Structure 1
Amino acid sequence: MRRVRKKEHIENYLKTSYRGDTLLGDVFIAHNALPELNFDEIDTSTEFLGKKINNPIMINAMTGGSDFSQEINKDLATLAKELGIPMAVGSETIALEDDDSVESFKVVREIVGPEGIVIANLSGIASVDEAKRAIEIVQGDAIQLHLNLAQELVMEEGDRDFRGVLKNIEEIAKNVDKPLIVKEVGFGISYVVGKRLYDAGVRYIDISGYGGTNFIEIENLRSHEVDFSELYSWGIPTAASLVQCRHLPDDARLIASGGIRNSIDIVKSLVLGADIAAVSGELLAYLVHGGYANAKDYLESNLYKLKVLMMLLGKGNIQELKKTEYKLTGKLKEII
């Protein structure tokens, strides 16, 4: 069932038509006509999970568990290696249940190599032992636990009991010797939830806001019982989630995902307080529709434009970029 569902998720993502607003367009940053910089010396490297990465972006969790998924993961891992960026695998729950699925995840580390960053992935209800096994499969530098409440509720066969999830996350934070990332799957994390996660020992939060992959729509395309289309607009926009969660203690690290589609989205995410940005759905579409070369061109062109935008802002490195002044406008200003 999981194999079929994962394939349906990919197919249905490519069919989705609803596009929410991340509200990143409501973030104004000013042009600097006198940057006094050499474009060729602009440094886009940064540190993440204790390793240096070439660019402040990661390939976020997408898939795994089937031959089709394995081919996608091979291409994504190759991109991660060539561009020097981290990659998170899709949920490894299927690999814990089906040995035949393990290779579709292991292949990522095999391609990326020991110097790259690979992040394991499970649900927030996973046990400590399951978390350790998921890390072992991909030799993970960290583990990502996803919170997919909205998706499960729309999924006909989804979970309905969510008691004890926070306590479970706290147990994993205490008993797993790798960094723990908690992420939403496209509906955002508020400050209140972020603080509860922080107090439970979580130091990496992927806010995964509204405006990107919409799992209510994806699951609705699989459902034949109830029409959930009126809930497509549910969630905290990515920009609003970032602005809220940046008020967490200084040692909290934020990953911006949820509708990160281009270079200006990356820049504005970093300006709002993210340590790195993450892409998934948009990259998947480029890969499936146009192949590896198309996906590589998409990433490389946006990373080049990242440098262009840094030049236009007069910022020579990522730490300087994160200190850029900005103003909130429109609906985002009203929400905040």
Structure 2
Amino acid sequence: MRKKRKREHIENYLRTTYKGDTLFEDIFIEHNSLPNLNFSDIDTTTNFLGKEVGCPIIINAMTGGSEFAHEINRELSLIAKEYNIPMAVGSQTIALCDDVECRESFSIVRETIGDDGIVIANLSAQSSIDDVEKALDMIKADAIQLHLNPAQEIVMLEGDRDFRGILENIETIAKTIDKPVIVKEVGFGVSKEVATKLYNIGIRNIDISGFGGTNFIEIENIRYNSIDFSELYSWGIPTALSLIKCRELPKDLNIISSGGIRSSMDIVKSLILGGQMVGISGEILSYLLHGGYENVRDYMEATTHKMKIIMVLLGKKNIEELKTTEYKIIGDLKELLNSR
């Protein structure tokens, strides 16, 4: 059943039509006519989880658990290796059984990327310590994402309905395992209040996964259409808003900006607003499913090239300089922040 659901999620993603607004358009950054830089000197490398990466992009969690997912993960891991960027696998719950095919659809990522690359495991935040350790070992992971997805689960026909004790479980996991824990939403955003609760129990890595990208309420609605959930498609915290509010927490909280990240401008603005890294999933998946490895490679080439162009036009030579860029908040985002 899980295998069938995983495939349906991918197929239904291609059928979704609702487009949410990340509100990145409401971030204004100023042009610099005297950048005093050479384009060839622009440096996009940065450090993440103790390793140097080619640029601050993570191929974020997508899928696993079937022959179909095996091929997707193989091609995505080739991209991660070529560009020296981290890759997170999809939820490994399906692979915790003794199904060799399931496990191989995840282990292919580490096999392809190699020991020097960064691979991130993924399980529900409700998972046991034993399952977390198995997931980490399965792919020799550098860290684990513990995903929060109550909005998806509550509309899923076979989804969870009991969300008690999750914060306490995250704390137990974080204090028990010897690898970094990244708490990740799945597309509805993390509020400052939730981020504060996570910070107070020792979590120092949060993937906000805001509203504006993959909409799992719509995806589940396509699977289970006896109840119309379309009035909930707009539910969530826009990525830019979530990022700004979470960045009000202490600087030792590392924030991954994800949720509707599609362009080089989205990446640059995410870093300027305080993201350490930027996670992309839906956009990369679309390029892969519509044209394979070479299509994703073309997307990565264009995106990183345009990112460097924007850095020149801001007069910022490297990622650390880029993060010091001043910005102005306008439009609906300004109104939302002023009303809080």
TM-score (norm: length of structure 1): 0.99
Counterparts of 1:335 and 1:117, CA distance in 2? 36
CA distances 1:89-147 after superposition (whole Å, capped 9, x unpaired): 00000000242210000000000000000000000100111111100001000000000
Q: Where does 1:197-212 land on structure 2 (aligned, <5 Å)? A: 197-212=198-213
Matched residue of 2:96: which SS? helix
Q: Which residue of 1 aligns with 2:315?
A: 314
Alignment partner of 2:184: what SS?
strand
Match of 1:96 in 2: 96
Determine whether 1:243 maps to 2:244. yes
- AA paired with 1:95? A
Aligned to 1:4: 4
Paired amino acid for 1:13: Y
Q: What percentage of aligned pairs have identical amino acids?
A: 64
> What SS does the corresponding residue of 2:75 show, helix, strand or coil?
helix
Amino acid paired to 2:324? K
Matches of 2:311 and 2:129 in 1, distance apart? 42
How many pairs does the alignment contain? 336
Counterpart residue number, 2:73: 73
CA RMSD of aligned residues (A): 0.6
What CA distance in whole angstroms lies between the structure 1 residues aligned with 2:225 and 2:191?
A: 31
Mapped to 2, the partners of 1:296 and 1:7 lie a distance apart of: 23
Q: Could you tell me which amino acid in structure 2 is paired with residue 32 of structure 1?
A: N
Q: Map 1:76-225 onto structure 2 (within 5 A).
A: 76-100=76-100, 101-225=102-226
**Matched residue type, 2:30:** A
Separation of aligned partners in 2, 1:328 and 1:97: 48
Is 1:19 matched with 2:3? Answer: no
Structure 2, unmatched stretches of 5+, are none
Deviation at 1:250? 1.3
1:274 maps to amino acid: G
Consecutive unaligned residues of structure 1, counting only runs of 5 or more, are: none
Q: Classify the secondary structure of the residue corresponding to 2:223.
A: coil
What is the distance in 2 between the residues matched to 1:99 and 1:317? 45
Code of the aligned partner of 2:5: R
Query: How many Å separate the matches in 2 of 1:77 and 1:246?
Result: 30
- Offset from partner CA, 1:149-174 (integer Å, 9 cap, x none): 00000101000000000000000000
| Alpha-carbon offset, residue 224 of structure 1 | 2.9
Cα separation, 1, equivalents of 2:225 and 2:28: 43
Amino acid at match of 2:89: V
1:203-225 residue CA offsets vs partner (Å, 9 max, x unmatched)? 10000000000000000000132
Alpha-carbon distance, 1:266 to partner: 0.1
Cα distance between partner residues in 1 of 2:75 and 2:261: 20
1:300 CA displacement? 1.4
SS where residue 261 of structure 1 aligns?
Answer: coil
Q: Give the C-alpha shift of residue 299 in structure 1.
A: 1.2
Q: Tell me, what secondary structure is at the counterpart of 2:289? A: helix
Return the offset for 1:201: 1.4
Q: Which residue of 2 aligns with 1:330?
A: 331
- How far, CA to CA, are the matches of 1:129 and 1:199 in structure 2? 24
TM, length-normalised to structure 2: 0.98
Q: Measure the CA separation in 2 of the matches of 1:97 and 1:223.
A: 26
Q: Distance in 1 between matches of 2:227 and 2:15?
A: 19
The aligned residue for residue 30 of structure 1 is 30
Amino acid at match of 2:70: Q
Note if 1:63 corresponds to 2:69: no
Which AA in structure 1 matches 2:106?
Answer: F
Distance in 2 (CA, whole Å) between partners of 1:84 and 1:308 is 20
CA distances 1:302-322 after superposition (whole Å, capped 9, x unpaired): 011100000000000000000
Separation of aligned partners in 1, 2:239 and 2:245 = 10
- Aligned partner of 2:280 in structure 1 is 279
Alpha-carbon distance between aligned partners in 2 of 1:334 and 1:320, rounded to the nearest angstrom: 29
- Deviation of residue 200 (structure 1)? 1.4
Partner Cα separation in structure 1 for residue 132 and residue 309 of structure 2: 40
For residues 36-55 of structure 1, the aligned pairs below 5 Å read 36-55=36-55
* Aligned partner letter, 2:270: S
User: Which whole-Å CA distance do the structure 1 matches of 2:243 and 2:281 have between them?
Assistant: 18
Secondary structure of the corresponding residue to residue 63 of structure 1: coil
Find the aligned partners of 2:166 and 2:252 in 1 and give their Cα distance: 23
Q: Which amino acid aligns with 1:299?
A: M
Distance 2:149 2:323 in 1: 29
